[in-house]
Structure 1
Amino acid sequence: MAGPDPHSQEAPRQRDLTTGPIGPALLLFALPTLGSNVLQSLNGSINAIWVGRFLGEGALAATSNANIIMFLLFGAVFGFGMAATILVGQAWGAREVDAAKRAFGSALGLVLAASILVGALGWVFAPEILRALATPEAAFTPALDYLRVIFLGLPPSMLLVLMFMGLRGTGDSVTPLWFMGLSVLIDSTLNPVLILGLGPMPRLGIAGSALATLIANLAACAGLAGWMAWRRMPLHLTGAERRYLLPDPALVRTILGKGLPIGAQMLVLSTSALAMVGLVNRHGIDTVAAYGIVQQLWGYVQMPAMAVGAAVSAMAAQNIGARRWDRVARVTVAGLFYNGAITAAMVVLVLWLDETILGLFVGEGSAALPIAQHINRVATWGFILFGGTMVLFGTVRANGAVWGPLGILFLSMFPVRLGMAVALEPWLGGDSLWWSFPLGSAANVAMAAAYYLHGGWRRGALLVPEETGERSHADVEPGAAVRPAG
């Protein structure tokens, strides 16, 4: 049976993205997601300010190395959540609430198990990972302390992200905003307390920053679970539905089959970032610290692209599930327009105020500041192109197409970006590292556009009608019983 109507009063904040004007709906959905991204990046920046101001450039370089590793590990389990989000969105568009709950429950079980395993392995092998990155000796010990505590917090942080993604799949981008705010408030408040040992707390140094993040994610995760239960939100699992946490084989195959390639896309990004860190580390600790500062700034510049891309993916998935292919192309065009306008405005702002913003992270007269300004001026404009890729990938992933984006990312990150960084060094010196970013983004968006226009992504399927088993979203009637494809 189809389950409760998504439009009913029992589904607060959930939105039907398959009807009405596309532009306003996309913008209203993207803005809370953008707000969540702002808060998340602001939290990282505040933490970096505490670390840089109180513990110095060596500790800041340590967090830069450790955060790249965490992004790598995040990618190992992120794909499961993205696959589940697509399933939730398509099921919601088809008005199959029970199918959405099954996908959500299966993803929760898989991500919890995977994050516990990855966290345990990361704790054990953290020293070897840092050595493989050629982490500077001055930053090695603080990076190890920071990284090991972060590994402990991997399960709640992964579950929190997955819960946010699931809610967005049902059209709710507001609830994740509030609980991201809660996490940021706790984290940013506890950081100086635990770093400096204020009041009765022990002085933990850089490990205190990581412990603050762990506590904040635990609190937000528990709070969101309680809120979903209290508000009787559609994805909350009650009674016998809790068995969905033990995934059935069909959902496992679908989530793994689509989630692993999506996770591999994250791993491609992460490993290319790790390789870049290895190249940057060879230019000395001031350049490493400068690169870490600029990465904080880039987090903000990427936020509109990530928010609009997530909104496009959720909106496209619902329309695919509802057989509204006529709206999918219009969603993509609207996403490209909003990304270009908002990201370009962000780029102009951070270039205009770069000295003021970058100066927040280091003390006056720091040798890292002019290096960071130079990196910012050379490379930041390329994120306008990056945003176009996120929108195009958001649409094709909404129909379960994952191998095309994976191949495109691999080519643009390794042969193009890293290849250029190395090949141009005899002529550009260290600037070859920074110019490789916009050049790689240009190659990425060109290949993504070609795949969107001429690739076979429209033929894929994640949900098919149970009665016929035909592999076409055009056959999924709203309210019909559906099951995972493949």
Structure 2
Amino acid sequence: MAASRPGAKDLTQGPIASTLLMFAVPTLASNILQSLNGSINAIWVGRFLGAQALAATANANIIMFLMFSIVFGFGMASTVLIGQAMGRRDIDAARRAFGSAVGFCLVLAVIVATAGWIGAPALLRLLATPAEAFDMALTYLRVIFIAMPATLLSVMMMMGLRGVGDARTPLIFMIVSVVIDLVLNPVLILGLGPAPAMGIAGSATATAAAGIISLIGLVAYTYAKDLPLRLRGAELNYLLPAADQMRVLLSKGLPMGMQMIVMSASGLVMIGFVNREGLLVTAAYGASQQLWTYLQMPAMAMGAAVSAMAAQNIGAGRWDRISRITAYGIGYQLLITGAMVTVMLVFHEALLALFLGDNVSAIAAAWHMQLRVSWSFLAFGCTMILFGVMRANGVVVKPLLILAFTLFVVRIGFYHVGFPLIGVDALWFSYPVSSFTAMLLAVLVYAQGGWRKAKLLVPVHEEECRETVNSDAEPAGRLNPTG
């Protein structure tokens, strides 16, 4: 059986509650590590190189996030394909899906990296990057673009491993990447020891080196441990994206990536509204956003875990477990997010002071918006769990439409209608209004049940047809591929 292989975990058997929790926790830890890494790197850059360098990295990171959003979509699509294949105990199909995803990602990453390196000045001008930060941002961005293929391949491989039920290996190499990045950042920025002082390029080089080293380690570990998705011999041909696999990756991956872009675009619009309220409110909002980033993590991690687990069970035909997977996912998410919201509200002064120092007025403004916004992440999390389950069966357009409607029509519409009546509070109350509307719509789509009838529409592979025919004549049935 595929799930008995080293590194694979069968998510279709045993107790749902403990299995889901043990699968989700490493993913949550990876997300937290990644965010902490970004925060600490920002501190290194800000402390050592000043506000101009920090502004430069902020502008470059906007572009990088858009690139990762697209790859995230393809990665989630491949996770679903791999998960369903593992649920069917078809490891060869899982490898085909993984190979097509990695091969396509590599080609896409090389094209984007090349175009990005050439077009970086135009991209920064499009973002209206401040003149004093332009040169630094250009240097930083070009180094990051050079390392992009390795970075995106790492992301794709980690998401593929989660599809076979392995959340431990991605966590290990996320730790490796973060440790290398944190150590190299000050060394290369300042030129400590034999290293040259590279300034802003040093920060980018540290991040690039961490990604490349982590990828090399991940590939080596995959083959050394003979993990399920390793490709050998004729299987290496799977790296040439197959037409049937590409249809699924594009039709499902693009809408998933668009979900991330829609959320980012909505955030940019909201920042524009916040900026109208003056520097004090903008500073308070910036500090609050730092905390809200962490409040989103349980929803994203649990959503990814639920999606992978549901995909395996759908592939195995275990529809009897899907409702319980959904229920446990929502329950865990409410528990973890609720605990985090409570901690952040109880210790709000100390947490906000990390970003706002002793600015009492800004802390008070941030506390005001925290009270109105923080609890809305409970509803956001429930929505992400329901989306994750539906995504496990290839349903991606309806979640995208719900997000677009609630984040733009509902949230921005509430702001415009409410502002003349309640002033700036219309901004903060627009968050719970849109979040609970999205949750209600997600519940309606989930309860209606049409998503259960969807198919990924991957044509049966020619080799599978031959094996199926042979299995009719062989007492032993279909043979499982060996390692």
- Asked whether the equivalents of residues 312 and 395 of structure 1 are also in contact (C-alpha less than 8 Å), the reply is yes
Provide the rounded CA distance (Å) in 2 between the counterparts of 1:162 and 1:323.
26
Is the CA contact 2:274–2:281 (under 8 Å) kept in the aligned structure 1?
Answer: yes
Shift of 1:409: 1.0
Change in 2 beyond 3 A, CA 1:214/1:411: same
Of all paired residues, the percent bearing the same amino acid is 55
Matching residue within 341, 352, 355 for 2:346:
352
Query: Are 2:248 and 2:457, in contact at CA under 8 Å, matched by a contact in 1?
Result: no
- Residue identity matched to 1:342: I
Aligned to 1:233, the other structure's residue is in SS state: coil
1:274 corresponding residue in structure 2? 268
Superposition deviation, residue 387 in structure 1: 0.6
Q: 1:240 to 1:176 in 2, by over 3 A?
A: same
- CA separation in 1, counterparts of 2:402 and 2:133? 34
Shift in Å, 1:257:
1.6
**Equivalent residue number for residue 154 of structure 2:** 160
- Report the counterpart of residue 211 of structure 1 in structure 2: 205
CA drift of 1:227 comes to 0.3
| 371, 378, 381: which one aligns with 2:375 | 381
Cα distance in 2 for partners of 1:199, 1:288 equals: 40
- Deviations for 1:198-238, whole angstroms, at most 9, x for unmatched residues? 33334444443332211111111111011001001110111
Give the gaps of 5 or more residues in structure 1: 470-478
Aligned equivalents of 1:30 and 1:237: distance in 2?
26
Cα distance change, pair 356–178 in 1 and its aligned pair in 2 (3 A): same
Moved more, 247-256 or 273-282: 273-282
Shift of 1:119: 3.0
Residue 154 to residue 465, structure 1, CA distance change in 2 (3 Å): closer
User: How far apart, in 1, do the equivalents of 2:412 and 2:83 lie?
Assistant: 35
CA distance in 1, matches of 2:208, 2:270: 27
1:248 equivalent to 2:242? Answer: yes
Q: Find the counterpart in structure 1 of residue 431 from structure 2.
A: 437
User: 1:360 is paired with a residue of what secondary structure?
Assistant: helix
The Cα shift of 1:272 comes to: 2.1
Residues 1:80 and 2:55 are matched in the alignment: no
Normalised TM-score (structure 2)? 0.88
Q: 2:177 aligns with which of 178, 183, 187?
A: 183
Distance apart, 1:144 and its partner CA = 4.2
Q: 1:106 aligns with which of 95, 100, 106?
A: 100
Which residue of structure 1 lines up, in the alignment, with residue 2 of structure 2?
6
Shift of 1:253: 1.2
Q: Tell me the equivalent position of 1:450.
A: 444
1:323 equivalent among 298, 317, 328: 317
Instruction: Name the counterpart of 1:419.
Output: 413
Instruction: Using the TM superposition, give the Cα deviation of residue 61 of structure 1 relative to its aligned residue in structure 2, in angstroms.
Output: 4.5
Equivalences, count: 467
Is 1:194 the counterpart of 2:188? The answer is yes
AA paired with 1:119?
A
- Structure 1 residue 115 corresponds to structure 2 residue 109: yes
Q: Kindly report the root-mean-square deviation, in angstroms, between the aligned alpha carbons of the 2 structures.
A: 2.9
Partner of 2:89: 95
Structure 2 unaligned regions, length at least 5: 465-476
The CA distance in 2 between the partners of 1:192 and 1:371, in whole Å, is 34
Question: 2: distance between equivalents of 1:206 and 1:359?
Answer: 27
8 Å CA contact retained: 2:244, 2:459: no
Which region of structure 1 is more displaced relative to structure 2, 17-26 or 433-442?
433-442
CA apart distance, 1:178? 0.6
1:128 deviation in Å? 4.3
Q: How far apart, CA to CA, are the structure 2 residues paired with 1:294 and 1:142? A: 27
Give the C-alpha shift of residue 276 in structure 1.
3.1
For residue 163 of structure 2, the aligned residue among 159, 169, 173 is 169
Q: TM-score, normalising length from structure 1?
A: 0.87
Q: 1:364 to 1:206 in 2, by over 3 A?
A: farther
Cα offset for 1:78?
2.1
- CA separation of 1:217 and 1:103: change in aligned 2, threshold 3 A: same
Please state whether the residue corresponding to 2:374 is helix, strand or coil. helix
Shift in Å, 1:403: 0.9
Name the SS of the counterpart of 2:354 in structure 1: coil
User: 1:24 Cα shift?
Assistant: 1.0
Deviation, 1:337, is 0.5
Aligned-residue offset at 1:111: 1.1
Deviation at 1:33, TM superposition (A): 1.2
Distance 2:385 2:121 in 1: 37
Contact 2:7/2:228 (CA < 8 Å) preserved in 1?
Answer: no
Structure 1 CA distance for aligned equivalents of residues 232 and 318 of structure 2: 31
